[in-house]
């Protein structure tokens, strides 16, 4: 399995570039931002934690994002 991770600031074109890569190289596109929104919408345990950080205007700690990303990889 090949994994390509794209990171950049908000609104820098990650989604646009990922769509091009997905279409060109036949990669699966996994968006942590989309997943965060889904977790919050479903009110999962991690979604509630994400919502709390968002409510306070704080960044989500790396440990929580690592857990979320690990869950995504496990599912895929």
| Mean pLDDT calculated for residue range 27-46 | 92
Query: For residue range 48-76, what is the model confidence (pLDDT) as tens digits?
Result: 999 999 999 999 999 999 999 899 888 87
- 14, 8 contact by CB (below 8 A): yes
Query: Residue 73's pLDDT is what?
Result: 85
Alpha helices for 1-76 (secondary structure H): 14-25, 32-42, 45-56, 62-75
pLDDT band, residue 33 (cuts 50/70/90): confident
């Amino acid at each position: 399995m090949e994994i390509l991770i794209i990171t950049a600031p908000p609104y820098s074109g990650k989604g646009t570039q990922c769509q091009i890569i997905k279409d060109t190289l036949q990669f699966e596109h996994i968006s942590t931002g989309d997943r965060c929104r889904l977790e919050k919408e479903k009110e999962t345990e991690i979604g509630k934690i994400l919502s709390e950080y968002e409510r306070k205007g704080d960044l989500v700690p790396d440990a929580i994002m690592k857990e979320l990303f690990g869950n995504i990889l496990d599912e895929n």
